[in-house]
Amino acid sequence: MNKIIHLTDNYYEGKTIQPENLSDVIRIANIGKLRNAPELLVFPHSFSELEDGIEDLSILSLKDCEYENGICMSAKACTGNLMGFVGINETSISIHSRFTHGKHNGIVDADGKDYFLYYMLQKVFSINVFNLEHTSNQEDKILDFLLYLFPYMLNKALQQGIYKEYQCHHYDNPRVKGTIEVGKYIRNDIPFRGNISYRMREFCFDNPMTQLIRHTIEHIKHNPIGASILCSGQETRDNVSKIIQVTSSFDKRDLVKIINANRKPKIHPYFTAYKDLQLLCMRILCHDSLKYGENKDKVYGILFEGAWLWEEYLYTILKEHGFKHPKNKASKGGIRMFEKTNDEDYFDNNSRRMYPDFWKENYILDAKYKHLNGKVGREDLYQVVSYMHCMKAENGGYIYPNEGEYKTSKYQLGGYGGLLKVIPFEVPQDADEWAVFIEKIKHSQEKLISNIK
């Protein structure tokens, strides 16, 4: 029987692992860096070519290990910033956000509702989550998370147009445009009846890639949350219709053939976003076979990096108030550290840039997923203050999620006298229903903007 272990992120005290699950948990801990688990999806690393450092994180660590004859007999599992689901053999680990309703000392009940994680996913990926009660099996939420990513990946890919590639088609008609197939001509068209057998390579929208997307769409339609996912926005609805229109040869019996045709990642100089979509579709369609397969000791699942998700969620709020969100790893949207870049004695020939999490004229903000309690580490402090100095910004601050109701701390800087704030974002903890949580967190968002202003 599959055993599910419920944890929360950033739980350093550790949960004691039962002996029957210890060997599986040790295997997960021994993965080390995430790059060593190809069957495990980690967002955003698994869907990005950027070296963002997330692949160097570990899923969990063990402490207080007790050994007998060189064999670990007991240990506690500790977590970091990663959230999501991991499975191996007969053990599944569910890592909730530390703001999950129904937790106690870092351990979550099976019925604990992770409203905050789902809400951030909804905002970042532009999906609608109406109900969290549809999944009776906790382990099936791995598939739920994969489905939530589909509209985001679909829309991102179709911004580059509908994928097309050369396909070899065979014809038998009088309008010869390609290479004549002599064997077929002799077999089919002699005595001559006016037709000639030939083949030609031509661009086609109906190809293995679009067929894979179509099979994924049909698969999602039969999921309890599928209807809301495929109708999560006008752009998603339009793109789903486009895929259906161009895949006129769709046949649900071709699923295995289409999966086999897409096992090799598509690398195209123009349709670059389709590689990520292809990976996601393959994981959705192969989820059951991966989950119930015979691959012993193979780790599978999906994880989200908490700091990245928190930062992207904050941007959905702050962008409406003029803040920009530079992309450090992509070297986009940064601000110059030096005023002049063409002097002979220029300090940095690489045109050094700075990448605050969020900035606008006269304001610098830094997102912190860790709990600050009004206190900021030295390196984080120096970083924001240096950004403020280079931009001559009079305001700066840090935003972190918090369980309780803490007041914003304010500090007046020396020198030119900038104001530094440490702003807590209150995550509702007393909401028993999704609708109540939505109402409360919207109030927290309004309060956040008020504290920034």
Instruction: Compute the distance between CA of residue 286 and CA of residue 262 in angstroms, rounded to an integer.
Output: 12
- Residue 338: what pLDDT? 66
In which element (H, E) is residue 84 found? strand 82-88
Alpha helices in 106-162 (DSSP H): 115-125, 141-158
137 with 195, same domain? no
User: Which pair of tokens denotes residue 20?
Assistant: 């029957």
200 with 212, same domain? no
In which element (H, E) is residue 326 found? none
138 with 19, same domain? yes
User: Which of 245-248's residues contact partners 24+ apart within 8 Å by CB, and which partners?
Assistant: 246/162, 246/205, 246/206, 246/210, 247/206, 247/210, 247/211, 247/213, 247/214, 248/206
89 with 212, same domain? yes
CB of 402 closer than 8 Å to CB of 425: yes
User: Which pair of tokens denotes residue 432?
Assistant: 């028993």
CB of 113 closer than 8 Å to CB of 134: no
119 with 220, same domain? yes
In which element (H, E) is residue 206 found? none
214 with 303, same domain? yes
245 with 383, same domain? no
Full pLDDT tens readout for the chain, 453 residues: 467 788 888 888 888 888 888 888 888 887 755 555 666 777 776 665 444 555 566 788 888 888 888 788 888 888 888 888 888 877 888 888 888 866 555 555 555 678 898 899 888 887 765 555 544 455 566 777 888 889 989 999 999 999 988 777 776 777 777 677 777 756 776 777 778 787 777 778 889 999 999 999 999 998 877 777 888 788 999 999 999 999 999 999 999 999 999 988 888 888 888 988 998 999 888 876 555 544 566 777 888 888 899 999 999 999 999 898 887 655 565 676 666 655 545 555 555 677 788 988 889 999 999 877 667 888 888 888 888 888 888 999 999 998 877 788 888 988 777 899 999 999 988 888 888 899 999 999 999 999 988
Residue 312 resides in a domain:
no
User: Which pair of tokens denotes residue 232?
Assistant: 């999560």
Residue 281 resides in a domain:
yes
The residues, ordered by sequence, that sit 6+ positions from 436 with a Cβ below 8 Å of its Cβ are 428
Instruction: Compute the distance between CA of residue 122 and CA of residue 117 in angstroms, rounded to an integer.
Output: 9
Amino acid at 396: G
139 with 199, same domain? no
- Residue 49: what pLDDT? 47
Instruction: Compute the distance between CA of residue 383 and CA of residue 385 in angstroms, rounded to an integer.
Output: 6
Structural domain ending residue among the three candidates 174, 204, 234: 204
Instruction: Compute the distance between CA of residue 205 and CA of residue 208 in angstroms, rounded to an integer.
Output: 9
Residue 134 resides in a domain:
yes
- Residue 141: what pLDDT? 66
28 with 56, same domain? yes
User: Which pair of tokens denotes residue 219?
Assistant: 């698969």
Structural domain ending residue among the three candidates 145, 177, 204: 204
CB of 212 closer than 8 Å to CB of 259: yes
Look up the pTM and report it.
0.80
Residue 315 resides in a domain:
no
Structural domain span for residue 445: 322-340+350-452
- Residue 245: what pLDDT? 94
Bridge partners (DSSP) listed for residue 398: 366, 422
Instruction: Compute the distance between CA of residue 353 and CA of residue 336 in angstroms, rounded to an integer.
Output: 5
Q: What does R_g of the chain's alpha carbons equal in angstroms? A: 26
Alpha helices in 254-376 (DSSP H): 255-261, 274-285, 287-292, 306-318
Domain count, the chain: 3
262 with 289, same domain? yes
Residue 317 resides in a domain:
no
- Laid out side by side, the sheet with 363-367 consists of 358-360, 363-367, 395-402, 419-426, 409-412
362 with 378, same domain? yes
Residue 360 CA to its chain's centroid (Å): 26
Instruction: Compute the distance between CA of residue 374 and CA of residue 366 in angstroms, rounded to an integer.
Output: 14
Residue 345 resides in a domain:
no
Residue 252 resides in a domain:
yes
Under DSSP, the state recorded for 428 is P
370 with 446, same domain? yes
CB of 54 closer than 8 Å to CB of 37: no
Separation in Å, CA 223 to CA 128, 197, 218, 226, 252: 15, 44, 9, 5, 16
- Residue 251: what pLDDT? 93
- Residue 167: what pLDDT? 74
Residue 263 resides in a domain:
yes
